[in-house]
Amino acid sequence: MRTEPFRNRPGAPRNRGFAKWAAQFVKRPGRTVHAAQAGLYGHRMGGLRSSLGDARIWARDFALATSLGLFLAPIGPFGSYSEPIARRLAECLAYAWSGTLVWSPGLRIILWLTAATRINDNLARVGGALVLCPPIAVMVHLVSLAFSGGATRLGWFSATPQIAMIAVPLAAVSCLVRFWTTRQQAVPAAPSPARLLARLPAAVGEELLALEAEDHYVRVHTARGSALLLMRFADAIAELDGRPGLQVHRSWWVARTAVTGAVKAGRRASLVLVGGLIVPVSRAAMPQARAQGLLGVRASGAARF
């Protein structure tokens, strides 16, 4: 019997992409995988590619690297203290910029890989800094060779501990900054009524659950129903006047007190609100949602993560 090549079989992907082909249930012995879960991998990959290609992030990282180089030049790292200050400055800037070519994409890839796991984000940052020290040491070694004309004073192996003494504190500082900003966002607002609530009809009440963007409108979900307001999503969040909550998706904001549980399907996470409303959580918002304890709430029939 003649068999067809795989590419000609019904159901085989024909240049439609992984996510589209996965729009069906794929059954395996003892397991059923829904394509929407598999397609989330493509969505996360798109987010990583967007992050790696974001010129603003690269500009920020190189600005920080420049500041680091200016700070290290008077100190004279890697045995360069005996050199003239002008050469030290050029060398330290070259060290910082070349290291950024490894640090910036490397740390983002590591955080992307650990985002869907149980690994703490702060631990991932510090561990990622240690993992990136050897390749950064190679870049430092190459820069040292270029400045010394081939007679380098240090090898990449001996430079690794010195780089770790710089990279790990930087990662720790970034963790502290994230912790402080998260705590600032979680500070309860003053007990004054939000301006947005004044726009709602009396029938839906003022017990706010969530905001949902719908084209040029914003749907305000409350415990007694919902109301549609003609306004921008960003303006609606601004009129909450600091009400405790978090924007967990580009189209969703949730009140902290409205969250009753969290569910996970594959790599996708969602929050369960009062009344059973399901709100998706984007990958970018997962660290903040996890830090505020929103993803640690166990919903009925759902696995904790």
Q: Do residue 248 and residue 176 come from a single domain?
A: no
Decide if 103 contacts 170 (C-beta within 8 A): no
Region class of 10: left (phi > 0), else alpha (psi between -120 and 50), else beta: beta
- pLDDT at residue number 122: 84
DSSP 79: T
Closest listed residue to residue 246, CA positions, set 290, 276, 277: 290
Dist. CA 304–CA 292, nearest whole Å: 15
What Å distances lie between residue 40 and 23, 34, 43, 85, 282, CA to CA?
Answer: 11, 11, 5, 51, 10
- Which pTM was predicted? 0.44
- On the 0-12 / 13-18 / 19+ scale of CB atoms within 10 A, 157 is exposed
DSSP 190: P
Closest listed residue to residue 220, CA positions, set 201, 245, 193: 201
Is residue 230, in this structure, part of any structural domain at all? yes
Is residue 158, in this structure, part of any structural domain at all? yes
| Domain final residue, candidates 186, 213, 229 | 186
Domain count, the chain: 2
Q: Do residue 242 and residue 149 come from a single domain?
A: no
Q: Do residue 177 and residue 211 come from a single domain?
A: no
Q: Do residue 233 and residue 155 come from a single domain?
A: no
- pLDDT at residue number 254: 95
DSSP lists the bridge partners of residue 192 as: none
Q: Do residue 58 and residue 179 come from a single domain?
A: yes
- pLDDT at residue number 152: 65
Is residue 161, in this structure, part of any structural domain at all? yes
Closest listed residue to residue 100, CA positions, set 46, 63, 131: 63
Is residue 284, in this structure, part of any structural domain at all? yes
Is residue 30, in this structure, part of any structural domain at all? no
Who contacts 163 (Cβ-Cβ below 8 Å, separation ≥6)?
A: 99, 133, 136, 137, 140
Give the phi and the psi of residue 256 in degrees, each rounded to 5. Answer: -60, -40
- pLDDT at residue number 245: 92
Is residue 155, in this structure, part of any structural domain at all? yes
DSSP lists the bridge partners of residue 218 as: 213, 229
Is residue 273, in this structure, part of any structural domain at all? yes
Decide if 211 contacts 221 (C-beta within 8 A): yes
Q: Do residue 242 and residue 168 come from a single domain?
A: no
DSSP 250: T
The SS3 of residue 33 is strand
Q: Do residue 136 and residue 213 come from a single domain?
A: no
Distance from CA of residue 94 to its chain's centroid? Answer: 28
User: Which CATH number belongs to the domain containing residue 262 in this structure?
Assistant: 2.40.50.1020
Dist. CA 57–CA 51, nearest whole Å: 8
Decide if 199 contacts 229 (C-beta within 8 A): yes
Dist. CA 93–CA 95, nearest whole Å: 5
Angle at 96 between CA 91 and CA 100, to 5 degrees: 145
Q: Which amino acid is at 158?
A: S
Q: Do residue 157 and residue 133 come from a single domain?
A: yes
Report, as ranges of residue numbers, the positions in the chain whose pLDDT lies below 50.
Answer: 1-16, 18-41, 43, 189-190, 298-305
Dist. CA 72–CA 69, nearest whole Å: 5
| Domain final residue, candidates 154, 186, 218 | 186
Closest listed residue to residue 46, CA positions, set 14, 13, 19: 19
Q: Do residue 111 and residue 230 come from a single domain?
A: no
